Amino acid sequence: MELSLDIKNKIEEMLEGYKLPILKRVSSELSENYLKESGKGISLVNSELDAKVYACIRMPATYKAINDSLIHTLEFYDGEIKTLIDAGAGLGASSIASSDLLPLTSITCLEKSDVMRKVGSEITDNLPIKWKEFDLVNQEIEEKADLVICSYVLNELEENRREFVVKSLFNATNKVLLIVEPGTPVGSSIIKEVRSLLLSLGAYIIAPCPHQEECLSEWCHFSSRTSRSKLHKLLKEGDAPFEDEKFSYIAVSKSPCNRCLNRVLRHPIINKSSVSLSLCNEKGICQVEVRKSDKEKYKTSRKLKVGDAFD
């Protein structure tokens, strides 16, 4: 599922009236900021126009990564989820992605930046959201929700504050906590570190891991594809009709839960007589051949995508 056309149109309407060279300059400054200044705990989006351009160039991709992570989580979690805390909400991508999949009755968006809260509340004005000024690094979350999501935030924080923030997120979780990060080597190593911390706090992994033992992956990440609008192509200067977003994630439950037996790590290689799969499972990371003679399994294997569960 992609970010809805309604929201994409709303974002483009917000940018009407601005000259293209100005939007291109803001877009390249934002990309530069994210590349060079992440992890220092400083604000990377500083004006209303920055926030609106961020909405155009990043939100469709972060929405899709959160949506995919949540789909893989909900495949193995069937408890009732009614309330959400979106921590470091930005413009509300996690709130929108969750509302598209769950019957939420209340959402709290915790966000430090004034401009993100302002533009975010305009974009999400059809959702039951309370927007709150909040600093995850210096304040402990006091309210609780069935689902807590923190997407694309931890990599922006100073490393020595991450443990405090993750503990606070876990304490605020009644049922499920989902953390999503960019699928870069840095983002995936943050997820690996968070995984260990959450396990030490008594969490039960729902996805993507098929086990709770030590993680043997060097760079566990997945990818999601989003179509690009004309404005997105102009601002990011490229013609490709799609954008592939790499992401890493971890979803945990507060109570014992189901999880998959195998997670697909690479695109299956389809041969005439077999499908070759790269899987993560309880034994570690392994290659498995599914032979054509194993009819049902072979049929399923041919259709698998990276990130899918395979049982």
CA distances from 188 to 95, 122, 152, 180 (A): 22, 32, 11, 9
Residue nearer to ligand SAM on the CB measure, 56 or 304: 56
Among 131, 134, 222, 249, binds ligand SAM (CB under 6 A): 134
C-alpha dihedral sign at 268, 269, 270, 276: negative
Distance, CA of 220 to chain centre: 14
Tokens of 284: 């570690």
Alpha carbon distance 222, 244 (integer Å) = 10
Residue with nearest beta carbon to ligand SAM: 90
Size of the site for ligand SAM (CB under 6 A): 19
Cβ contact 118:140 at 8 Å? no
CB of 62 to ligand SAM, least distance (A): 4
Does 93 bind ligand SAM (CB under 6 A)? Our answer is: yes
Q: Does 245 bind ligand SAM (CB under 6 A)?
A: no
Least distance from ligand SAM to the Cβ atom of residue 283, Å: 33
Q: Does 141 bind ligand SAM (CB under 6 A)?
A: no
User: Would you count residue 90 as binding ligand SAM (CB under 6 A)?
Assistant: yes
CA distance 107 to 124: 11
CA 27/CA 22 separation, integer angstroms: 9
The window from 11-19, 152-160, 261-269, 275-283 that contacts ligand SAM (CB under 6 A) reads: 152-160
DSSP, collapsed to helix, strand or coil, labels residue 158 as coil
88 makes contact with ligand SAM (CB under 6 A): yes
Angle at the Cα of 297 (from 295 to 298), degrees rounded to 5?
A: 65
133 near ligand SAM (CB under 6 A): no
Which residue in the block uniquely carries the two structure tokens 């009732």?
Answer: 80
C-alpha span between 115 and 91 (Å, rounded): 9
Identify which range of 67-75, 145-153, 278-286, 292-300 contacts ligand SAM by CB under 6 A.
145-153
Total count of residues recorded for the chain: 311
Which residue, 134 or 310, is less far from ligand SAM as judged by CB? 134
| 152 forms part of the interface with ligand SAM (CB under 6 A) | yes
Q: Decide if residue 310 touches ligand SAM (CB under 6 A).
A: no
Encoding tokens for residue 157? 């924080």
Which of 135, 140, 159, 163 is the binder for ligand SAM (CB under 6 A)?
A: 135
Question: Which range of residues in 2-10, 133-141, 166-174, 243-251 is near ligand SAM by CB under 6 A?
Answer: 133-141
Helix, strand, or coil here: 288?
Answer: strand
For ligand SAM, give the closer residue by CB, 127 or 137. 137
Residues forming contacts to ligand SAM in the complex (CB under 6 A) are: 62, 88-90, 93-94, 111-113, 116, 134-137, 151-153, 156-157
